[in-house]
């Protein structure tokens, strides 16, 4: 990591090239998308593919046992 200010995703992204592009489509990520990927520790996804990973809000909640 770099010694840049907190939230300085550009410094981190330059050191970690795998955070610059979506794992699914290869699109260049925005600074916010890079920050989200780094904070979540999950897959590096663009906004389109990150939205596909979220559970559907229209689905009924799972039954409580």
Sign of CA dihedral 21, 8, 37, 29: negative
- Give the separation between CA 8 and CA 18, rounded to whole angstroms: 16
Q: Whole-structure pTM over 0.75, yes or no?
A: no
Q: What is the pLDDT of residues 3-60, one digit of tens each?
A: 455 555 545 444 565 789 999 999 999 999 999 888 988 889 999 998 888 765 556 6
pLDDT > 90 fraction of the chain, expressed in percent and rounded: 34
**H helix count then E strand count, the chain:** 3, 0
């Amino acid at each position: 990591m770099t010694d840049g200010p907190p939230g300085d995703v550009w410094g981190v992204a330059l050191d970690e090239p795998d955070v610059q592009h979506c794992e699914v489509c290869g699109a260049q990520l925005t600074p916010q998308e890079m920050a989200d990927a780094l904070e979540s520790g999950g897959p590096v996804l663009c906004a389109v593919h990150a939205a596909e990973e979220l559970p559907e809000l229209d689905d009924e909640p799972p039954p409580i046992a």
